[in-house]
Structure 1
Amino acid sequence: MSTKKALMLSVLIPVGLALALPVAAMGPGGAGGPGGERPSFTELDANADGSLTLEEMLAHRDARFAEADTDGDGNLSRDEMIAAAMGRVEERIDAQFERFDDNEDGLLSANELDDMRPRGPGPERLFARMDADGDGAISAEEFEAAQAHAMQRRGGGHGQGQGHGQGHRWGQSDEG
């Protein structure tokens, strides 16, 4: 290995590990699960000097662990993990109400919920895609083909469930 490669690896490997630590410390999917918020740069930059050190990242991880370890025994029980996750869920729901409860009545109407819908095709377009033969109904085969297509797009699920490997494509039928 050349000196240049060795130097580059000696820099890139620690940087890659340091960037992965906060996410790994929070469990699968980032901050406590799928869809969880990842810490901002500002949250990680404890001394506000505009750069992150490994120590700052480890301190953030340790603080998150200590916050979840409510009995202070150095371990996380199932109940502590559930409580920590539920706390994050509550925070996310509060943020959604703050953002989407337009009339501030403490309730989300169907119209307000529509505003929460992720960008992308609406239910009508999704239905039309799944209804490959255009008959106004989704058959079990069309449903399975749509599921298989969704799994392929997410890069997983090969060989799992029905509909995989049957030549179906989302929005196409076997009839042509």
Structure 2
Amino acid sequence: MKKAAFIAVIVGTASLIATGAVLAKGGPGGQGMRPSFEELDADGNGEITQAEMDAMKAARFAKVDTNGDGQLSLEELTARGVQKAATHAEKMLERRDANGDGVLSADELSKPHRSGKMFDRFDADGSGTISQEEFEEASNQMHQRGKGKHRPGHQSEAETEQN
């Protein structure tokens, strides 16, 4: 019973997160994964036009706009979020269910190597602890990356001010 409740909480949380991601992407359809060059190059001529980009965006919108009214309701966005969360949960179960029992234990969920790297990045002075200053600095750096600091073709606010 505890395992079933645990999985239900994970799926419910994932649904809420996925719905938020759909809304945040503004992405009609908010696919999560970027389309490949081949998917965008609809006519197969080796080049992507603005019209092809617009067509992909419209197709994604139409996929979520299940009633075809040209607007995305909370119900449509939620349904898409739930669908994406279920797909993500299925993939996670397939990938991490080491013993094949159809459920994930805490050991199967944890990724110590990843959390260790995150801790090391936050612990800038290598003291084995994270001070409030280190925490805030690392958080600010992650926030800046989210604003396009490291994305090709985008400049951070500081880079823009320097130009």
Distance change (3 Å), C-alpha of 1:132 and 1:50: closer
1:85 aligns with 2:81: yes
Alignment of 1:95-106 (within 5 A): 95-106=91-102
Alignment of 1:115-154 (within 5 A): 115=111, 118=114, 121=117, 125=120, 129=123, 142=131, 144-154=132-142
Post-superposition offset of 1:62: 0.5
Among candidates 28, 39, 49, match of residue 25 of structure 2: 28
2:121 and 2:138 in contact (8 A); partners too: no
Larger RCO: Structure 1 or Structure 2 (Cα < 8 Å, ≥ 6 residues apart)?
Answer: 2
1:60 aligns with 2:56: yes
- Distance, in Å, in 1 between the alignment partners of 2:26 and 2:72 is 18
Post-superposition offset of 1:106: 1.7
Q: Which runs of 5+ in 2 are unaligned?
A: 1-21, 145-163
Judge which range, 36-45 or 53-62, deviates more.
36-45
- Distance, in Å, in 2 between the alignment partners of 1:26 and 1:52 is 26
- Distance, in Å, in 2 between the alignment partners of 1:147 and 1:29 is 30
Name segments (4+ residues, structure 1) moved above 6 Å. 130-134
For 1:91-122, what per-residue CA distance to the aligned partner results, in whole angstroms no more than 9, with x for missing partners? 22222222222333221223322349747526
Post-superposition offset of 1:69: 0.7
Post-superposition offset of 1:63: 0.8
Alignment correspondent of 2:67: 71
- Distance, in Å, in 2 between the alignment partners of 1:26 and 1:45 is 26
Computing the radius of gyration from Cα coordinates, the structure with the larger value is: 1
Letter in 2 for 1:78: L
TM-score by length of structure 1 reads 0.52
1:68 and 1:80 in contact (8 A); partners too: yes
- Distance, in Å, in 1 between the alignment partners of 2:139 and 2:111 is 26
Distance change (3 Å), C-alpha of 1:42 and 1:69: same
RMSD (Å), alpha carbons: 3.7
For 1:8-63, what per-residue CA distance to the aligned partner results, in whole angstroms no more than 9, with x for missing partners? xxxxxxxxxxxxxxxxx985387739xx3222223323334433222221111111
- Distance, in Å, in 1 between the alignment partners of 2:112 and 2:91 is 12
